[in-house]
Structure 1
Amino acid sequence: MASIAGKKSGLTWAVQLSVAALVLLWLFPTVGLFVSSFRSADQISSSGWWAALFPSEQSEVYRTADPDDTRVPDGDGFVVTGNIFEDAPRDILSWGVSSRDIAAFRPGETADMKDGEQLTLQPDGSYEWRGSADQLKGRGQRIFVTATVPPEFSLSNYETILFSGSGQDNMAKAFFNTLTVTIPATIIPIVIAAFAAYALAWMEFPGRALLIAAVVALLVVPLQLALIPLLRLHLEIGIGKGYLGVWLAHTAFGMPLAVYLLRNYMVGLPRDIIENAKVDGATDFQIFTRIILPLSFPALASFAIFQFLWTWNDLLVAKVFLIDSTGSTTVMTNQIVELLGTRGGNWEILATAAFVSIAVPLLVFFSLQRFLVRGLLAGSVK
Structure 2
Amino acid sequence: MIASSKRSPLTYLVHATVLFLVVIWTIPTAGLFVSSIRDKDQLSVSGWWTALSTSEQRIVDRANGPKTQTQEGDQFVIRGNLLTNSSAVITQFGFSSLDPEAFAAGTLAEMRNGQTLQVMANGDYALASPAQWKGSRGQRIFYTAEVPPRFTLDNYREVLSAEGLGQSFLNSLTVTIPATIIPILVAAFAAYALAWMRFPGRALLVAAVVGLLVVPLQMSLIPLLKSYNLIGEFFGVGSKTYVGIWLAHTGFGLPLAIYLLRNYIAGLPSEIIESARVDGASDFDIFRKIILPLSFPALASFAIFQFLWVWNDLLIAMVFLGNNEEHLVLTGQLRELLGSRGGNWEILTASAFITIIVPLCVFFSLQRYLVRGLLAGSVK
Q: TM-score, normalised by structure 1?
A: 0.92
Match in the other structure for 2:304: 305
Match in the other structure for 1:205: 199
Match in the other structure for 1:350: 348
**Deviation of 1:76 (Å):** 4.9
Amino acid at match of 2:197: M
**How far apart in 2 are the matches of 1:229 and 1:114?**
73
Equivalences for residues 247-262 of structure 1 within 5 A: 247-262=246-261
**Contact 1:78/1:136 (8 A) holds in 2:** no
**How far apart in 2 are the matches of 1:371 and 1:138?**
69
Match in the other structure for 1:124: 122
**How far apart in 1 are the matches of 2:12 and 2:50?**
32
> Residues 320 and 112 (structure 1 numbering): CA distance in 2 closer, same or farther, change over 3 Å?
farther
Amino acid at match of 1:17: A
**How far apart in 2 are the matches of 1:196 and 1:100?**
74
**Deviation of 1:372 (Å):** 0.8
Equivalences for residues 339-378 of structure 1 within 5 A: 339-342=337-340, 344-378=342-376
Mapped pair 1:222 → 2:228 = no
**Deviation of 1:361 (Å):** 0.9
Match in the other structure for 2:286: 287
Structure 2 gaps of 5+ residues are 233-237
Q: TM-score, normalised by structure 2?
A: 0.92
Mapped pair 1:102 → 2:100 = yes
Match in the other structure for 2:82: 84
SS of the residue aligned with 2:103? coil
**Deviation of 1:139 (Å):** 2.7
Q: For 1:275-311, what per-residue CA distance to the aligned partner results, in whole angstroms no more than 9, with x for missing partners?
A: 2222222211111111111111111111001100101
Amino acid at match of 2:278: V
**Deviation of 1:112 (Å):** 4.6
Match in the other structure for 1:24: 23
SS of the residue aligned with 1:341? helix
**Deviation of 1:216 (Å):** 0.4
SS of the residue aligned with 1:361? helix
Q: For 1:333-376, what per-residue CA distance to the aligned partner results, in whole angstroms no more than 9, with x for missing partners?
A: 11112222347322222222222111111111111111111110
> Residues 271 and 126 (structure 1 numbering): CA distance in 2 closer, same or farther, change over 3 Å?
same
> Residues 232 and 99 (structure 1 numbering): CA distance in 2 closer, same or farther, change over 3 Å?
farther
Match in the other structure for 1:154: 152
**How far apart in 2 are the matches of 1:141 and 1:341?**
35
Q: For 1:17-59, what per-residue CA distance to the aligned partner results, in whole angstroms no more than 9, with x for missing partners?
A: 2122112212222211111111123212332222211211112
**Deviation of 1:111 (Å):** 4.2
**How far apart in 2 are the matches of 1:7 and 1:378?**
29
Mapped pair 1:54 → 2:48 = no
**Deviation of 1:173 (Å):** 1.3
**How far apart in 2 are the matches of 1:148 and 1:27?**
30
Aligned pairs, how many? 375
**How far apart in 2 are the matches of 1:272 and 1:136?**
97
> Residues 373 and 74 (structure 1 numbering): CA distance in 2 closer, same or farther, change over 3 Å?
same
Equivalences for residues 69-80 of structure 1 within 5 A: 70-76=68-74, 78-80=76-78
Amino acid at match of 1:140: G
**Contact 2:69/2:133 (8 A) holds in 1:** no
Q: Once structures 1 and 2 are overlaid, which stretch shifts more, 97-106 or 331-340?
A: 97-106
**Contact 1:161/1:170 (8 A) holds in 2:** yes
**How far apart in 2 are the matches of 1:136 and 1:89?**
33
SS of the residue aligned with 2:214? coil
**Contact 1:117/1:135 (8 A) holds in 2:** no
**How far apart in 2 are the matches of 1:141 and 1:240?**
59
**Deviation of 1:331 (Å):** 1.0
**Contact 1:234/1:240 (8 A) holds in 2:** yes
Q: Could you say what the CA RMSD is over the residues aligned between the two structures, in angstroms? A: 2.1
SS of the residue aligned with 2:268? coil
Amino acid at match of 2:319: V
Match in the other structure for 2:268: 269
**Contact 1:95/1:105 (8 A) holds in 2:** yes
**Deviation of 1:130 (Å):** 2.4
> Residues 113 and 243 (structure 1 numbering): CA distance in 2 closer, same or farther, change over 3 Å?
farther
**How far apart in 2 are the matches of 1:381 and 1:102?**
70
SS of the residue aligned with 2:198? coil
**How far apart in 2 are the matches of 1:178 and 1:23?**
28
**Deviation of 1:261 (Å):** 0.5
SS of the residue aligned with 2:286? helix
> Residues 112 and 338 (structure 1 numbering): CA distance in 2 closer, same or farther, change over 3 Å?
farther
SS of the residue aligned with 1:128? strand
Match in the other structure for 1:39: 38
SS of the residue aligned with 1:328? coil
